Copies of this chain bind each other. A is one copy, B any other.
């Protein structure tokens, strides 16, 4: 396989762009009904084939006259013209306006022969004869030829250039095409993009998942398909080939024959990669293997039978990032669509970020709108004009799918960049043009009441990283608020003494409630657990929360008290608990372990026990407090959360063990 060796050197990102650009994805133009043309792009120029309007047209309700008959007429000395008939919109005139006569006319109607102007009805009076019929009209103004008449072709004349090739069709182009009577529109074809999913471990969403066999849901197929559609392409999903390599080859070839571009996202299985290589080598042309970019090094670019081929990395954030950076522009180009105006946002780095590798880095980043940062702004005088966009790196580690919604886009970092300083201006390429900064960015404790309260805030973001991490990040000035459970030792305060060592985090508390915590046990409490002493003294399998959780600190404090009572150390107590170090991540996770029979008791909330119908041994109540960045208490999302907490009685009443 000497061919493969040629690609050992990583290509520069610009070469990857060029390689993809060299693969022509543009399909043949097609014709679509006007009704379905919105969002498409004109394939050719459209000239007017007819005059619009097609006739001299009254543009007011009134009377069609010969302008000369009105010369000198005014309120004092009106001209009286004989009324000879009426013309309505959509009807052919059956009158001729001779000198000294006029005809009633409605807006949009054809000007009758002889008439060259319209007098608007407001400047006329009907003259009634002895039988009560209107037989003449007083004209109280003079008009010039052409007044209130739109001449044939005045809007656009036959032969005139209406729309150019490459025009994206929005409602207004649909309007002009309608006026021209065009009901079939020649448009750029929609590039079809086949998505072939490889990897033995992948199951399509909705299918049965066998975690014990290491199966995971296939994230990339639907995600990339949605990205293709957003870029103006049509995505075709091919059935999952599983581990049948003949089938995989068959699907790749089928996709390449049916589509303008085939995408696969990196299987972690070496044999799958071999199949792709072999098919490309036998039936196509490998242009590029490996790009000097992180993430995305293993990107492949080539041709496969009649089609273009790009292999994306396997991890979802990497796959979407590489798709967004390298492939989406080519799909848009093929569809004739311009890059969306909102594809990028400029902001300032909220924190410093360092780089060590000599590869271009596509750094996943989140956005947060800062409120006014000075004390004046905090006093409420700062308007939205004072806010700026802060950008923070999101790095949950490879393979995290939640990064997809916790990051808003990527910052392209040059290979030579060693660090981005806090405050440095950077450009974020958004994952989708519709992405916006959340209205509220909170970090901290995972809490079921909070989750429900956040439902009442428009586009919030809460990273459930635990109370400690919430406070740490609030101190760094990145999030709008920290959610803190239990007593962290050093409460944030509104006006800390800046000269003090290790001063508390400056914050304004915008809401507070309490929750009952204790031990989750199987329904009916079969082991008859009564309290913490049972965990220490008996042979019970326990499951704890992770060390960032405020709830774990509350437990640790309670164990310290128990140790005091017993005249021993906390360490001795915790070491006696089987599973004290078995830490799981969400407030429900310990309960689910108990339900699954993997543990006899777990740390949790009464609310969780009720929801999952387990037993519960109450050990205490702890406060949950939301501390806001003092400079951002007037930010709409923060204000909304404060309001939601204040008005949240229904939430607290519905959750067992909660009180405000």
Contacts and interface: CB of A to CB of B under 8 A. Distances in A.
28 contacts: A34-B206, A34-B222, A38-B229, A45-B455, A51-B589, A61-B268, A89-B200, A89-B268, A91-B214, A92-B213, A92-B214, A109-B214, A159-B589, A159-B591, A160-B588, A161-B451, A164-B459, A166-B459, A167-B459, A170-B434, A171-B226, A171-B230, A174-B222, A175-B223, A179-B216, A179-B219, A183-B206, A342-B342
Contacts of A618: none
A586 B45 contact: no
Contacts of A397: 59, 150
A586 B222 contact: no
B459 A161 contact: no
Contacts of A87: 214
Given A35-B225, A184-B206, A399 B150 contact: yes
The dominant DSSP class at the A interface is loop
Interface in A511-568: none
A222 B175 contact: yes
Given A162-B405, A175-B222, 8 more contacts: A34-B206, A53-B211, A54-B216, A90-B202, A161-B462, A164-B459, A170-B431, A178-B221
B157 A585 contact: yes
Interface in A278-333: 314, 316, 320
Contacts of A211: 50-51, 53-55, 110, 152
Interface string A397-422: 11111101101000000000000000
Given A164-B454, A200-B90, A224-B171, A216 B316 contact: no
A214 B171 contact: no
A90 B209 contact: no
Contact of A91 (B53, B153, B213, B434): B213
Contacts of A230: 38, 170-171
Contacts of A475: none
A171 B314 CA distance: 16
A123 interface: no
A179 B217 CA distance: 5
The 7 A-B pairs of least Cβ separation, nearest first, read: A159-B588, A54-B211, A183-B206, A90-B200, A90-B201, A157-B586, A179-B401
B181 A217 contact: yes
B174 A223 contact: yes
Contacts of A170: 226, 230, 431-432, 434-435
A68 interface: no
A205 interface: yes
A184 B460 CA distance: 23
* Chain A: interface size category: 35 or more
Q: Which of A45, A53, A109, A455 has the most CB of B within 10 A?
A: A53
A150 B170 CA distance: 46
Nearest to A172: B404
Contact of A200 (B55, B91, B435): B91
Contacts of A204: 183
A165 interface: yes
A435 B200 CA distance: 45
A158 B590 CA distance: 10
A215 interface: yes
Contacts of A586: 48, 153, 156-160
Nearest to A448: B159
A172 B109 contact: no
A10 interface: no
